[in-house]
Amino acid sequence: MSSHTQAPVKRITAPEITSRKGKEPLVVLTAYSAPMAEILDDHCDILLVGDSVGMVVHGLPNTIGVTLEMMSMHGKAVMRGARRAFVVVDMPFGSYEAGPEQAFQNAVQLLKETGAQAVKVESGPTVADTIEYLVRRGIAVMGHVGLRPQAVNVDGGFKAKGRTEAEREKVIKEALASDAAGAFAIVIEGVAADLAGEITRMVKAPTIGIGASNACDGQVLVVDDMLGLFDWSPKFVRRYADLRGEIATAAAQYAKDVRARSFPAPEETYFAK
């Protein structure tokens, strides 16, 4: 008789994500480690292994320095912790911009090494062809329009998009192109509420907002921002906890106990039999 008594958990699929368009909002958070993925798994539809890991975990000033190896390492960790959420791994800067063939090779590497279900690319003006190329070859792709962190050097910083008519038209064009190319979902970052709503109505794919109002079909936040692990967070972040304060308090109490030799106590110590 089999020792397995519980049926395996069914993982959410890309078609299920796409079918949520205009229905119950999609819940998305970033995850970079197995323990965090395990905690978030029951509450999220999608876990995004974002290239924000470069800034959040590795202390980089932006996402430009993130490598395929880093994304693969964190993607593997998240897949070890997540059982039901749909897992998407960011393709880092320089891993897909040279063309569809380069993107395909690197996407295949990420998916094979991590076991994740999809990749995400920032949908610049030349990326729609790459999205279509990947989708035609069996790779689920999430697009990303508006503020694109990988374009920080061109933009001169992290700046909201769509505030001028020319910018609005550009963001809409990139969103429509990503949608037509077959993206199963599209992240909209850092744009005005009316633009986010307009794009959401225009595209077939569900939109996932970050700093793009509640007009989108879902929302994503960097989990460390949401948990209050940094002194500063962007305007669009709502802090649901103050873990930075709690960690500091716990560390201070630990230091006090060590210095007073009250830790470890007898109940935390091994003795000879």
Residue whose entry in the numeric block shows the structure tokens 């995400």: 120
List Cβ neighbours of 173 (8 Å cut-off, separation of 6 or more). Answer: none
Angstrom distance (rounded) from CA 177 to CA 175: 5
**Closest by CA position to 195, among listed 178, 180, 174:** 174
Distances (CA, A) of 212 to 62, 149, 155, 264: 21, 15, 19, 49
Angstrom distance (rounded) from CA 96 to CA 118: 14
Q: Are 54 and 66 in contact (CB under 8 A)?
A: yes
List the binding residues for Mg(2+).
51, 90, 122
List the binding residues.
51-52, 90, 120, 122
Strand 207-210 versus strand 218-221 pairing type: parallel
Catalytic residue among 16, 97, 113, 189: 189
Angstrom distance (rounded) from CA 115 to CA 230: 30
Q: H-helix or E-strand containing 250? A: helix 243-259
Angstrom distance (rounded) from CA 58 to CA 33: 13
Active site residue 189: yes
List the binding residues for 3-methyl-2-oxobutanoate.
51-52, 90, 120
Q: Which residues are catalytic?
A: 189
